[in-house]
Amino acid sequence: MFKSNYGLFYDFHTSTDIPDVGENFDAEAFTDQLKSCKVDFLTWHARCNQGNAYYDTRYGKRHPSLKFDMIRAIGEACRRKGITFSVYFNGHFSDEELLQHRDWMNIEFKGDTYHTYDERGFFTPGLRASCYNSPYRDHLMNMVRELLENYPVDGFFFDCLGAASCICPYCVKEMKEKGIDCTDQKAVHAFGVFSVQRFCRDLNDLIRKIKPDALLFFNGRPAEESGDMLSHLECECLPTSFWGYESLPVYAHYLRTVAKGRTVMNMTGRFNTWGDFGGLRTAEGLEYDLFYGAANGMRPDIGGHFHPRGDMDLPVFDRIREVYNNIQQYDEWVLDAVNEPEIALVYPLRGEDYRPSGPAESAVRMLTELKVQFDLVTTFVPWDRYKLLIFPDDVVFTEEVVKRVEAHLKKGGKILATSRSGLDPEGKKFALSSWPAVYQGKIPYDPLYFMPAGPLAEGLPAMPLSVYASGTRVQAAKDAVTEMFLVKPYLPGDWDGLRSNYYNPPEKVTNEPFLVRSEQILYISAELFTGYAKRAPKQLRELLGKAIVSLVPELKFTSSTLPSFSRAFVQKKGNTELVHLLAYCPEGRGQASALEDRITLVDTEIALRTDGKKVRKVYLAPDRRELAFREEGNYCKVRIPMMTGFALAVFEY
């Protein structure tokens, strides 16, 4: 099975008009720099999204100003130095090739052939995209075959494999043969999903026939869809670009659940956005991304652009070396360590990539702020080992979900759900007869308030509190206990046709449940996670934390002193448990997000549930400085005098 400890991913998207490609390139000097950073895995472009190849191809078009076979030079140097070498193809975009073969172009449902990606600010005015069912398919497969048969390459990275809604003549002909209505946009998109899946399968079959152990990754396809073909997973997630700082946490908690023991590469970038040759992010910003990934089972991978001329840009290597040397101090403990949380956040895949909606992203943030250890799961993986399943705001209970939840409850597991989560696919009732609430429709109140009461109200303000979102109107089921109630505002909504009701205070507590529970299920009728996504009220996060503790009284990790912006993750390895602590704080600056400071924490107390195991010692890696500890009940408690940015506490049994 492929394992990589440290990777680099180099973009080489090079305009045909650049006159001096490769003139200063030295493969030996370049790979020496890789070795000095202890990089063991390199990805480099065989053919870029501009449509130019960087090797002597019989099928494609080598960049007109490149005077030598760059892929051969890099591949041979990597092989001599023990660096695994994977080559990149853009599987969908290829400007130059499509200028020559316009019948290969993807034609969108509305007739577009340019793909501008305005929402991402990627390409201006755009790139031409290929149709997976056109002769482009065989063309790309021929280029792959010639590399496999003639070049020292270890694998392939295929990029931008989105499911296009294509109505080119090739697609329309096949859709008609299959009886698909090519005027139905949903049907055309479904055919696009089928087409890209078939394309990936054909590429996989070709590659495996020639080189069974080849590395292979399809970027843009769900891992759940193509997992049997992938040698490893790669997470492209540059926080300073359109992903933002909320995305990596989602990917990190999700991808490890579908990896099945395979390496997950955590690809951030040395620049501030793709296409940026002049960006050099801070060491602090890069290490935050990579420490976060390592604490969740991912391996570091830094993306960059190489100057077309071959200029080395040594400050980039200096920065990579600095960051990697810092992380490499912890390899003894972190390599092959695993996360095994007892809590799962359940949210189904929506679309082709795991870029979830507000509730899931917000739930990940709230749980990490609370320092709860959890996985993000879909029905692709078993839920058997989790004590608590959390369903945020709008998870439909399909037949498969119902079956799993019933099995979970039968073995004594707990459920926490909010708002529409739990409803059947028709949205007319809760799918489980054991649900503690009876569905009545949408909550009519705007704004929505609730009154803290009961055991979970301790520490919350004794006043009506805003949710900043809507929710579901319910009645308590028989034998269920209502602990908190909705509060009705004076006015029905924002505008009544004559007057603005923007200022709409709470009037009175109703008899409508806000929080209702049975022995194993705690249900909150409001969109708790959507509300936090909109306004981040601390009270909603505190309520969530109390609800979780009421269902799982002894969490794996707790801390009374860590600030909300810090992060804590627990891993296991051999006879040790590792507690990763991160103290950084990304912030908005103008139109951008930035991270350039490590934060110092003083006298931090942490507590790790040891489950009856005897702690022999606790120390900080990498210098093995021992920490005093005390065992109280089922926990081992430690105080860390000072940490800056990152700390790794090792509990040895």
* CATH, residue 524: 3.40.50.880
Q: Is 487 inside a domain boundary? A: yes
Q: Over 50: is that where the pLDDT of 60 sits?
A: yes
User: In angstroms, rounded to a whole number, what is the distance separating the alpha carbons of residues 507 and 645?
Assistant: 47
Q: For residue 327, give the 3-state DSSP assignment.
A: helix
Last residue of one domain, picked from the residues 495, 520, 551 = 551
What is the mean predicted confidence (pLDDT) over 515-542?
Answer: 97
Q: Over 80: is that where the pLDDT of 123 sits?
A: no
Q: Is 338 inside a domain boundary? A: no
* Same structural domain, 153 and 267: yes
Total domains present in the chain: 3
Residue type, 62: R
User: In angstroms, rounded to a whole number, what is the distance separating the alpha carbons of residues 140 and 199?
Assistant: 10
First-to-final CA distance of the chain = 30
Higher-confidence position of 495 and 487 = 487
Q: Is 582 inside a domain boundary? A: yes
Last residue of one domain, picked from the residues 274, 299, 328 = 328
* DSSP state string for 562-599: --TT-EEEEEEETTEEEEEEE-B--EEETTEEE---B-
User: In angstroms, rounded to a whole number, what is the distance separating the alpha carbons of residues 84 and 440?
Assistant: 59
Q: Put the strands of the sheet holding 600-609 in their side by side order.
A: 557-558, 600-609, 635-644, 629-632
* Model pLDDT for residues 599-636, shown as the tens digit of each residue: 999 999 999 999 999 999 999 999 999 999 999 999 99
Model confidence, pTM: 0.96
* Same structural domain, 485 and 594: no
Q: Is 45 inside a domain boundary? A: yes
Is residue 124 within 8 A of residue 113, CB to CB? The reply is no
Q: For residue 256, give the 3-state DSSP assignment.
A: helix
* Same structural domain, 522 and 608: no
In the 3-class helix/strand/coil scheme, how is 361-414 assigned residue by residue? HHHHHHHHHCCCCEEEECCCCCCCCCCEEEECCCCCCCHHHHHHHHHHHHCCCE
Q: Is 355 inside a domain boundary? A: yes
Residue 119 is predicted with a pLDDT of 47
Q: For 193, left (φ over 0), alpha (ψ -120 to 50), or beta? A: alpha
DSSP single-letter state for residue 243: T
What pairs with residue 449 in β-bridges? Answer: 466, 487
- Is residue 127 very low, low, confident or very high in pLDDT (cuts 50, 70, 90)? confident
* Same structural domain, 263 and 368: no
Helix (H) or strand (E) holding 360: helix 358-369
Residue 126 is predicted with a pLDDT of 67
Residue type, 494: D
* Model pLDDT for residues 383-401, shown as the tens digit of each residue: 999 999 999 999 999 999 9
Q: Is 333 inside a domain boundary? A: no
- Is residue 105 very low, low, confident or very high in pLDDT (cuts 50, 70, 90)? very high
Domain containing 291 — which CATH number?
Answer: 3.20.20.80
* Same structural domain, 436 and 543: yes
Residue 496 is predicted with a pLDDT of 79
Using only C-alpha atoms, what is the Rg of the chain? 27
Closest CA to 322 of 354, 374, 281: 281
Contacts of 136 (CB under 8 A, 6+ apart): 94, 97, 98, 101, 104, 130
* Same structural domain, 307 and 360: no
* Model pLDDT for residues 63-102, shown as the tens digit of each residue: 999 999 999 999 999 999 999 999 999 999 999 999 999 9
Residue 260 is predicted with a pLDDT of 92
Least confident of 14-28, 343-357, 617-631: 343-357
* Same structural domain, 320 and 221: yes
Closest CA to 545 of 648, 432, 456, 415: 456
Q: Over 70: is that where the pLDDT of 272 sits?
A: yes
* Model pLDDT for residues 232-250, shown as the tens digit of each residue: 999 999 999 888 999 999 9
Is residue 647 within 8 A of residue 570, CB to CB? The reply is no
Q: Over 60: is that where the pLDDT of 122 sits?
A: no
Residue for token pair 């695994």 = 84
Share of the chain above pLDDT 70, in %: 97
* Same structural domain, 79 and 195: yes
Two tokens, residue 92: 């969908």
Closest CA to 389 of 431, 346, 422, 429: 346
* Model pLDDT for residues 129-164, shown as the tens digit of each residue: 999 999 999 999 999 999 999 999 999 999 999 998
- Is residue 118 very low, low, confident or very high in pLDDT (cuts 50, 70, 90)? very low
* Same structural domain, 568 and 478: no
What is the mean predicted confidence (pLDDT) over 198-223?
Answer: 97
Least confident of 270-279, 371-380, 440-449: 270-279
- Is residue 56 very low, low, confident or very high in pLDDT (cuts 50, 70, 90)? very high
* Same structural domain, 442 and 316: no
* Same structural domain, 164 and 250: yes
Higher-confidence position of 341 and 127 = 341
Last residue of one domain, picked from the residues 305, 328, 351 = 328
Is residue 505 reached through a cis peptide bond, with omega within 30 degrees of 0 on the bond before it?
A: no
Q: Is 335 inside a domain boundary? A: no
Residue 193 is predicted with a pLDDT of 95
Q: Which domain holds residue 64?
A: 7-328
What is the mean predicted confidence (pLDDT) over 464-490?
Answer: 97
Q: Over 80: is that where the pLDDT of 351 sits?
A: no
Q: Where are the beta strands (DSSP E) in 65-184?
A: 84-90, 114-115, 127-128, 155-159
What is the mean predicted confidence (pLDDT) over 582-608?
Answer: 95
Average pLDDT, the chain: 95
Residue 136 is predicted with a pLDDT of 98
- Is residue 470 very low, low, confident or very high in pLDDT (cuts 50, 70, 90)? very high
DSSP single-letter state for residue 622: T
Closest CA to 220 of 138, 129, 128, 158: 158
Domain containing 584 — which CATH number?
Answer: 2.60.40.1180
* Same structural domain, 170 and 296: yes
- Is residue 352 very low, low, confident or very high in pLDDT (cuts 50, 70, 90)? low
Q: Over 70: is that where the pLDDT of 117 sits?
A: no
Q: Is 32 inside a domain boundary? A: yes
Is residue 259 within 8 A of residue 377, CB to CB? The reply is no
Two tokens, residue 148: 């496999």
